[in-house]
Structure 1
Amino acid sequence: MPTSVSEDYRSRARLLLIAAIVTDLAAVVVLMLPVFRDGDIMAVLPIALPLFMLSGALLVAHIGMAKKAKAAEHEA
């Protein structure tokens, strides 16, 4: 069954939001591991910071895709 363009954009936006949340949680876990192991948190910053940046980029992409879905919905 073919879906409308706005539904396709909406599902992509939802997927981007889920990916942003998962990436953000992964960054938090990476930061918390040294705390639980009595390690140095500075050692994991090169891993955690890009994960936070990726999460932010995915969130911005989600917002853009949601706006695109809303615009496509108004066109139809």
Structure 2
Amino acid sequence: MTTNKEANSNIIAATSAKDSQSQASCPAECCMCGDYGVSNELFRCKVCQFRSQHRYCSNLYPKAESYQ
């Protein structure tokens, strides 16, 4: 039996801001908060390669003291 965390980690991939911008004509937007926010904190879905989410909007990653 897999946990939700394990299942979710199989469908997400970290991407750099440069990768996000090169694959779309406009900057990536977080599908959770709807903001562009800190672009280097976005990761992209491995399955659809379209949706992006900030690490700080996800419960898969621990909260950082600060973000770059």
TM-score normalized with structure 1 length: 0.31
The structure with more helix, counted as a fraction of residues: 1
- Higher Cα radius of gyration: 1
**Which structure has the higher relative contact order (CA within 8 Å, separation 6+)?**
1
The structure with more strand, counted as a fraction of residues: 2
TM-score normalized with structure 2 length: 0.33
